[in-house]
A and B are shown apart, each in its own frame.
Chain A
């Protein structure tokens, strides 16, 4: 794992001391709220509905056990004993007091963590495939690139006041688990005809008010050109992006208004201009970072115990079916810990659960954990012989829910239970859907199905790329939920289409149930997934299922 160097450590310590002073000046009145607000946001501190919220960066979602334990300590000491993992692979604390935040930041720095650039119009936490460095289908671990981008973008003097926030995602696999097509810049590792690895560069994707699938700016960018090329994109955007209208300020609108051809010309020109300045220092830096991401020292051991447990224990088998993924080492697996226990808040973990996961990672998983954008925790490297024991420990901690990729593995943003921008709640909707399908015991039969819920048009819950997307709105003072269908966040990215009028809170679960019933009726076999059936048949049969009354009235 990457270790802070002296420069990183000093930078964070200096920023924390600065913020401690700013908090003191706000409290004693030397700073007004208007002056303080941008300063606290630069340090990840929001004021939400009921309290402050601190968003802590988890760069490319990677954590070690000590860091996870420290998050648990922070949750116990300064919050309410839990944390919320987000779709940006970050963690949020929902109840810190302003006066405690400087101490929280110092304890984060003790484990090489911080909250810098988790807000504001800057380059945000770079996200990456949560299976990075482990996935069987991967070309190369994308995290060294993500770390290089993190170092380059942190406190970059030119890019602290962009027209709007800027999000970069990177994947090293052809199967896109990092939603690269819905980011300001998406980087997908590919090989060219000569076998050299490089990136497909995607630009101008994004969800929110105006959802757009990113466009390919460069089909193949050699790896060594990555930093100058990304810098060229951001600097073109910095000049061209609109600052007159917040809703038109993201790069997706810049690309939309100027056209991809024009952006490409400008970026290539700028790239040619600045390339010489990158003397190769970035490549030396990258080489050093790559060394820090060397694969773990894999153990060699027999795997019969794992095979035997699969045979013997149906509960273990059902969990293994959904929660394990292929590892590049055939004796290993990548293990997803679901933070979606039926009826619980998606993405939340108690401090005890965080400690349990840290202990397991340390004892059995090469001391590595990941936060996935789907709000689960991943143990990227586990030897198969250890999995039965890990499963038993997870069960004790209430973390053995067998539902990864199923209907109850719902992404939900905090919504109006916490978020000041929300137009409706999302958490209770997720809880009720999960509980309903748990009661019916059909989710394993239904199979892969992604439900994603946002509490407002900002789409933090990625509803546009949910197979079933749910958007909570305020319709004349009442919570109302709009359904979109057919969204997809993978390499086949698509924005879901709105089906029709929304549903009140007490009807939304029934509506989802009708969609699932329709799918079960319509699928050609168990092998055809919900999204495949939707693609084959289109919206019409699902719409008919969703609004049976309309059909009856028309008849």
Chain B
């Protein structure tokens, strides 16, 4: 089944120094948790935030917009690629899932 094309977006990228997946937060900083990402409704807002993010090349690499769904726990990935990015690899408990399990 085709997931519904989402109108809700977030800005995501990789951290310049560690490569870790990061999300643009409402305060303009970067969070490592997708749930903390700023949810962007509407193409104009999304494009504006993306270009603001791209203007921080000293912090992040490769910013882009990803689709999300709104949930009670905050924005959640729609596509499986973003699910893996938000969690870490499936063959080892490495990456974000380690910190998430410790919460």
Using an 8 Å CB-CB cutoff, how does the interface string of A414-450 with B read, 1 for contact, 0 for none? 0011100010010110010000000000000000000
- Give bound CA distance, A291 to B85, whole Å: 49
Is A477 a contact of B20 with CB atoms below 8 Å?
A: no
Using an 8 Å CB-CB cutoff, how does the interface string of A2-35 with B read, 1 for contact, 0 for none? 0000000000000000000000001111001100
B58 in the interface, Cβ–Cβ < 8 Å?
Answer: yes
Closest to B83 in A: A416
B21 in the interface, Cβ–Cβ < 8 Å?
Answer: yes
Closest to B60 in A: A33
CB contacts (< 8 Å) of B21 on chain A: these are: 49-50
Is A477 a contact of B3 with CB atoms below 8 Å?
A: yes
Is B17 a contact of A97 with CB atoms below 8 Å?
A: yes
CB contacts (< 8 Å) of B88 on chain A: these are: 50
- A50-B89 CB under 8 A given contacts A80-B94, A95-B94, A477-B3: yes
B contact patch SS: loop
A479 in the interface, Cβ–Cβ < 8 Å?
Answer: yes
Closest to B62 in A: A47
B57 in the interface, Cβ–Cβ < 8 Å?
Answer: yes
Is A33 a contact of B62 with CB atoms below 8 Å?
A: yes
- A425-B90 CB under 8 A given contacts A33-B57, A477-B79: yes
Is B81 a contact of A416 with CB atoms below 8 Å?
A: yes
CB contacts (< 8 Å) of B1 on chain A: these are: 476, 478
Closest to B67 in A: A477
Which listed residue, B2, B78, B92, B94, touches A476 by the CB 8 Å rule?
B2
Is A50 a contact of B20 with CB atoms below 8 Å?
A: yes
Instruction: List A58-99 residues whose CB lies under 8 Å from chain B.
Output: 80, 94-95, 97-99
- A417-B62 CB under 8 A given contacts A50-B21, A51-B20, A478-B80: no
Closest to B3 in A: A477
B77 vs chain A, min Cβ distance (A): 11
CB contacts (< 8 Å) of A418 on chain B: these are: 89
CB contacts (< 8 Å) of A26 on chain B: these are: 16
Is A47 a contact of B14 with CB atoms below 8 Å?
A: yes
A345 in the interface, Cβ–Cβ < 8 Å?
Answer: yes
B26 in the interface, Cβ–Cβ < 8 Å?
Answer: no
Instruction: List B80-103 residues whose CB lies under 8 Å from chain A.
Output: 80-81, 84-85, 88-92, 94-96
Count of interface residues, chain B, beta-carbon cutoff 8 Å: 28
- Give bound CA distance, A427 to B89, whole Å: 10
CB contacts (< 8 Å) of B94 on chain A: these are: 50, 80, 95
CB contacts (< 8 Å) of A238 on chain B: these are: none
Which listed residue, B3, B79, B85, touches A49 by the CB 8 Å rule?
B85
B19 in the interface, Cβ–Cβ < 8 Å?
Answer: yes
- Give bound CA distance, A431 to B90, whole Å: 11
- Give bound CA distance, A47 to B89, whole Å: 15
Which listed residue, A50, A51, A477, touches B80 by the CB 8 Å rule?
A477
Count of interface residues, chain A, beta-carbon cutoff 8 Å: 33
A319 in the interface, Cβ–Cβ < 8 Å?
Answer: no
Using an 8 Å CB-CB cutoff, how does the interface string of A389-428 with B read, 1 for contact, 0 for none? 0000000000000000000000000001110001001011
Using an 8 Å CB-CB cutoff, how does the interface string of B35-61 with A read, 1 for contact, 0 for none? 000000000000000000000011001
Closest to A343 in B: B91
Is B20 a contact of A49 with CB atoms below 8 Å?
A: no
CB contacts (< 8 Å) of A95 on chain B: these are: 19, 94
B18 in the interface, Cβ–Cβ < 8 Å?
Answer: yes
Is A49 a contact of B91 with CB atoms below 8 Å?
A: no
A491 in the interface, Cβ–Cβ < 8 Å?
Answer: no
CB contacts (< 8 Å) of B78 on chain A: these are: 477
Is B19 a contact of A51 with CB atoms below 8 Å?
A: yes
Using an 8 Å CB-CB cutoff, how does the interface string of B1-39 with A read, 1 for contact, 0 for none? 111000000000010111111000000000000000000
A52 in the interface, Cβ–Cβ < 8 Å?
Answer: yes
A121 in the interface, Cβ–Cβ < 8 Å?
Answer: no
Is A47 a contact of B61 with CB atoms below 8 Å?
A: yes
Is A52 a contact of B19 with CB atoms below 8 Å?
A: yes
Which listed residue, B3, B16, B57, B95, touches A50 by the CB 8 Å rule?
B95
- Give bound CA distance, A27 to B57, whole Å: 9
- Give bound CA distance, A140 to B55, whole Å: 57
- Give bound CA distance, A28 to B16, whole Å: 11
Is A428 a contact of B17 with CB atoms below 8 Å?
A: no
CB contacts (< 8 Å) of B19 on chain A: these are: 47-48, 50-52, 95, 97-98
- Give bound CA distance, A416 to B94, whole Å: 14
Is A416 a contact of B84 with CB atoms below 8 Å?
A: yes
A461 vs chain B, min Cβ distance (A): 15
Is A32 a contact of B84 with CB atoms below 8 Å?
A: no
- Give bound CA distance, A28 to B58, whole Å: 7
Q: A33-B61, A422-B81 are in contact. List 17 more A-B contacts (CB 8 A).
A: A26-B16, A28-B58, A47-B61, A49-B89, A50-B94, A50-B95, A51-B14, A52-B18, A80-B92, A99-B17, A416-B80, A425-B84, A428-B90, A431-B91, A476-B3, A478-B1, A479-B80
Residues of B whose CB lies within 8 Å of any CB of A are 1-3, 14, 16-21, 57-58, 61-62, 78-81, 84-85, 88-92, 94-96
10 nearest A-B pairs in the assembled complex, by CB-CB distance: A51-B19, A417-B89, A52-B19, A345-B91, A427-B91, A50-B95, A476-B2, A477-B3, A29-B58, A97-B18
14 contacts between A and B (CB under 8 A): A27-B58, A33-B61, A47-B19, A47-B61, A48-B19, A50-B20, A51-B14, A80-B94, A97-B18, A345-B92, A348-B91, A417-B91, A427-B90, A477-B80
